[in-house]
Structure 1
Amino acid sequence: MTMTPSTRPRRSALYVPAHHARAMEKARSARCDVVILDLEDSVGPEEKLQARTAAAEAIHDGGFASREVVIRTNALSTPWGMEDLAVAAQVMPNAVLVPKISAASDLAAARAAMHGSVPMWIMMETCAAILRLNEIATAGAKAGVEAWVIGSSDLAKEMRCAQGVARPGLQTALSLSVMAARAVGLGILDGVFFDAANPDGFAIQCAQGASLGFDGKTLIHPNQIEIANRAFAPEPAAIAWARAIIAAYDKPENAGKGLVEINGRFVERLHYDEARNLVQVAEAIEAAGR
């Protein structure tokens, strides 16, 4: 059964190495919607324990205002994964992001290691995961998963496909992932763009992700935030049209109607819920001042 989608803005999700104190402090005032305290890819093996402790302290200290704060743990199969999950769940961030989820059984193992009900996000970054999208989506909705994050770099590496701006080899996986996530009401974020010195290419990829239906994009550098925020924010014309739909269906004479006419255009009732969601996201962005 389809769930109600989140209206919390997730246009920009910045990865921050948890052991990097200066980057952590900058993230507290960055204009991103989500801060992901990373214990995985950006942290070397000898720094894993330090990063775990620093992430827990950052959650305790707070100061991130309205930004969602998520801890990305190491994979379950690593020496650090299980303890990462246990510690992350104890400090209660907004969510815990678990990498390398490839089957429903991985979700069960992650949830058991967390010993609690903190929301879970998961990385979809393996060929096995893409071939089990429906299984993982259905199981995740029951296990407290709220969002997926595409690990496009790992997926492209495993597929042995090119990873240019247009990402032709990933198009099928990206589109199917959005469909599977939306079928159960999950949020979904696009993967990172590593060429931080190529803002034009990044803007093109953001536009592509937005057109595919992603909520936002994961980022590796603060200079990518503004571009992502613009690309994934509702456009003024779309907000105005959504408000018109809401106003039309809220009229007493249209109560119970499945189809109404607005300025010569016919709109179905299914568009009413979509319009309300879009307006709520826009209002949340405005309230956050980002």
Structure 2
Amino acid sequence: MKRIRSALFMPASNQRAVDKARGLDCDAVILDLEDAVAPDSKVAARAQALAAARDGGFGARLLVLRVNALDTDWGEGDLEAARGAGFDAVLLPKVSHPDDLALARATLGGVALWAMIETCAAMLALPAIAAAPGLGCLIAGTNDLAKEMRCTPGADRLPLVPHLISIVTAARAHGLIALDGVSNVLVDTPELAAECAEGARYGFDGKTLIHPAQIAPANRAFAPSAEQVRWAEAVIAAFALPAHAQLGAIRVDGAMVERLHLAQAEQIIASAG
């Protein structure tokens, strides 16, 4: 599974922004046809997104297209255009039921499908949504979810925490990528760093972003710390000793570690690469 610490939304209608995205230090670029594009610019934005995919130049970054919802005038056309256009994945917004994904899959064919979890109905249907065939990623749509819940998240996002944990749990149960929702703080501040760190603590793989200034904080938060890497290296080295080859639990740095910790250590080293 590719590491995605930072997934940056870029309005497909803004050619300058799309060009800039090719040189940014994010792990994924999501060309947006939905929220960031005005209704009278939807068709033109679609054409520009297709041109961007055709022209390439995004390097190792995943290139994802967020289409409009299926119940809009543009959703079906977006999906038809995305098929075979060269995107690594297509992100479907306002997913509320696994049938939404089945309809998108029928149009997209083999293109990888990602889902925005941003409605109350989606939270109630989350286990079935996460089990949908061909799904690769769940993204927490925190702004839309908070709006529909009529809650006030605040800096600690407390009303959303159960839902964030549920999204991570569903993703892990089905081997999916889990990305935290966007922050509305557009500059590299302690508040943004804290929200990124919170998402990492909850178990998300990375964070969706809406401004290039958010990339560095996300990359820092969702990468293993030096202390985590040191611990992982110590655990791997300890289990590699011939005397420990048949043991299920050993002592490392004064603490008991088991084979499950070895698997965690190997995952940390892999994500640090």
TM-score range normalised by the length of the shorter chain: over 0.9
Q: Is residue 278 from structure 1 mapped to residue 259 from structure 2 by the alignment?
A: no
DSSP-derived class of the 2:84 partner: helix
Partner of 1:9: 3
Q: Is residue 187 from structure 1 mapped to residue 177 from structure 2 by the alignment?
A: yes
Q: Is residue 32 from structure 1 mapped to residue 29 from structure 2 by the alignment?
A: no
Percent same amino acid at aligned positions? 49
CA–CA separation in structure 2 for the residues paired with 1:99 and 1:166 = 25
Select between 152-161 and 128-137 the one with higher mean Cα deviation: 128-137
Partner of 1:107: 101
Partner of 2:142: 152
DSSP-derived class of the 1:91 partner: coil
How far is the alpha carbon of 1:260 from its aligned partner?
A: 2.3
Residue pairs, 1:88-127, within 5 angstroms: 88-114=82-108, 116-127=109-120
Partner of 2:209: 219
CA–CA separation in structure 1 for the residues paired with 2:200 and 2:243 = 35
Select between 86-95 and 149-158 the one with higher mean Cα deviation: 86-95
How far is the alpha carbon of 1:246 from its aligned partner?
A: 2.1
CA–CA separation in structure 1 for the residues paired with 2:214 and 2:123 = 27
How far is the alpha carbon of 1:252 from its aligned partner?
A: 3.9
User: Per the alignment, do residues 202 and 250 of structure 1 end up closer, same or farther by CA in structure 2, a change over 3 Å counting?
Assistant: same
8 A contact 2:136–2:176 mirrored in 1: yes
DSSP-derived class of the 2:91 partner: strand
Partner of 2:130: 137
Which amino acid counterpart does residue 210 of structure 2 have in structure 1?
Answer: I
Partner of 2:14: 20
Which amino acid counterpart does residue 190 of structure 1 have in structure 2?
Answer: D
Q: RMSD in angstroms over aligned alpha carbons?
A: 1.5
CA–CA separation in structure 2 for the residues paired with 1:281 and 1:210 = 13
Which amino acid counterpart does residue 127 of structure 2 have in structure 1?
Answer: N
8 A contact 2:7–2:26 mirrored in 1: yes
8 A contact 1:38–1:72 mirrored in 2: yes
Partner of 1:64: 58
Residue pairs, 1:167-246, within 5 angstroms: 167-197=157-187, 199-246=189-236
Q: Deviations over 1:262-290 (max 9, x none)?
A: 2332211122222222211111xxxxxxx
The structure showing larger relative contact order (alpha-carbon pairs under 8 Å, at least 6 residues apart) is 1
User: Per the alignment, do residues 89 and 247 of structure 1 end up closer, same or farther by CA in structure 2, a change over 3 Å counting?
Assistant: farther
8 A contact 2:29–2:64 mirrored in 1: yes
CA–CA separation in structure 2 for the residues paired with 1:216 and 1:268 = 27
DSSP-derived class of the 1:192 partner: coil
How far is the alpha carbon of 1:25 from its aligned partner?
A: 0.9
Which amino acid counterpart does residue 96 of structure 2 have in structure 1?
Answer: S
DSSP-derived class of the 1:261 partner: strand
CA–CA separation in structure 2 for the residues paired with 1:74 and 1:251 = 54
Q: Is residue 85 from structure 1 mapped to residue 79 from structure 2 by the alignment?
A: yes
Which amino acid counterpart does residue 245 of structure 1 have in structure 2?
Answer: V
Select between 238-247 and 25-34 the one with higher mean Cα deviation: 238-247
Relative to the length of structure 2, the TM-score reads: 0.95
DSSP-derived class of the 2:94 partner: coil
DSSP-derived class of the 1:157 partner: helix
Give the aligned length.
273
DSSP-derived class of the 2:105 partner: helix
8 A contact 2:7–2:208 mirrored in 1: yes
Q: Is residue 128 from structure 1 mapped to residue 118 from structure 2 by the alignment?
A: no
Which amino acid counterpart does residue 73 of structure 1 have in structure 2?
Answer: V
CA–CA separation in structure 2 for the residues paired with 1:88 and 1:247 = 46
8 A contact 1:153–1:163 mirrored in 2: no
DSSP-derived class of the 1:13 partner: strand
Q: Deviations over 1:200-252 (max 9, x none)?
A: 32122112111111111111111111111111111011012112222233334
CA–CA separation in structure 2 for the residues paired with 1:215 and 1:74 = 25
Structure 1 spans left out of the alignment, 5+ residues: 1-5, 284-290
DSSP-derived class of the 2:29 partner: strand
DSSP-derived class of the 1:90 partner: coil
Which amino acid counterpart does residue 138 of structure 1 have in structure 2?
Answer: A
Q: Deviations over 1:133-160 (max 9, x none)?
A: 2111122xxx111111110000000000
